[in-house]
Amino acid sequence: MFAFATCAQILAVASLGFSFSEAHPTAASARLSKRFEDVPIYKSQGLGSACGAIQDDLINHFALSPEQWDSGNNCGKSATISYNGTKVFATVVSECQHCSSGSISLNPYLFEQLVGSDSVNVVYGDWAFPVIE
C-alpha cells in the first residue's frame, strides 16, 4: 500500500502545472533565451523614460533597438550585458531610435561600469534576456 500511495503522490504532483517568472528562469528557459553577440553597445547621454519610470543616471538602465523594443513589450525586462570579461545586469527603460537590430544604449554610469572608461562612446559586446547567472 505504501508503494501505491507514493506512486499516486508522484502522479498528483507531476500533474500540477508549474510556472516560473522571467525573473527566475529555469535552466531550460535560459538556454532558450535570446542572445546577441558582438553587437554595438553605445554610451547614451540620456535614455528618457519610455517605460514611465523616473530615470536615475546612477541605476543600471539601458535602451533597446526598435526591433528588440517591440513596441514596449520588453519594457522593464532585465538582461545580462558583457564586455571584455566584465558582466553587468540592467533593466530596459527605453527605445534607442538610432540603434541597429541587436545593439543597445547604456546610461553613462552603466557604460563606465561595463567598459571601465568614459573616453569611448561605443564598444562591441554581448547581451541576453533573461538574466543568466
Q: What is the largest CA-CA distance in the chain?
A: 72
Q: Which CATH class is domain 2-128?
A: mainly beta
DSSP string for 36-76: EEEEEEEEPS----TTSSPP-TTS-EEEE-HHHHGGGTTTT
DSSP string for 17-28: -----TTS--HH
pLDDT at 54 over 60: no
pLDDT at 76 over 70: yes
Please give the residue that has the higher pLDDT: either 33 or 60. 60
Mean pLDDT for 35-39 is 93
Please give the residue that has the higher pLDDT: either 15 or 77. 77
**How many CB atoms are located within 10 Å of the residue 127 CB?**
26
Domain-by-domain residue ranges, the chain? 2-128
